[in-house]
Amino acid sequence: MMLADARLPVGGHVHSAGLEPALAAGMPANRVFDYLLGRAHSVSLVEAGTAVVARHVALPATADSVAAGLAAVESAWAARTPSRALREVSRSLGRGYLRLGTRLWPGHPGIDACSAAPSPLSRPVVLGAIAAAANLDAESLVRLVIYDDAQTVAAALLKLAPIDPAIPAGWVLRACGEVDHLVAAIAALTSPDAIPASGAPQTEEWAESHSLTTQRLFRA
């Protein structure tokens, strides 16, 4: 519950889960629920699958045995995230989660492996390592990732196109419910090759354009 709390200071306040670029590109605010649903069926599944496999990799006993596995998961995630802008933002968010992880679970092999990585790891990979350290089960991790993505959009909407907060809260609940039947299958993943590759090309394009914009509230 704490990991999915928007008040946790891990960098989510600079991230709109692509909503600001979408609105700037002309998507009307009354289509935000459709946007949430689209992400739940695409981006969120990639992120959740990545986190679950990273969690699986981070369960062994030593940091050395974990490091190579997390590197493979990171490569699989990057191959499914073509946008350089989105990769950079995710790795920035990953650094925030890693600061949290090193403070709360010092010495855990998964956390140590993330800290020792030659370059910053993405948010879902670090989150998977944290899940291993926190003894969070795989299904709970999948639901956390899907919820967090939808809630990030909802929170950003209240800053970008303010509406009654009860409305996006209902959208989040519905979007999460629409993909709940997929949770068990995603939670069972153990190989980087099995991570879903359901991309969102329009989101990638919007993110690249947004990264060149100087007047923006969120990085992505």
Residue 9 has pLDDT above 60, yes or no: no
Distance CA 3, CA 30 (A): 29
pTM: 0.92
Least Cα distance to 52 among 219, 199, 214, 196 occurs for 196
Q: Which of 8-17, 33-42, 136-145, 194-203 has the lowest mean pLDDT?
A: 8-17
For the stretch 28-57, pLDDT in tens is 888 999 999 999 999 999 999 999 999 999
Q: Which of 3-12, 72-81, 82-91, 98-107 has the lowest mean pLDDT?
A: 3-12
Q: Where are the domains of the chain?
A: 13-210
In this prediction, residue 112 carries a pLDDT of 93
Mean pLDDT estimate for the chain:
88
CATH number, domain 13-210, options 3.30.450, 1.10.4190, 3.30.420, 2.40.128: 1.10.4190
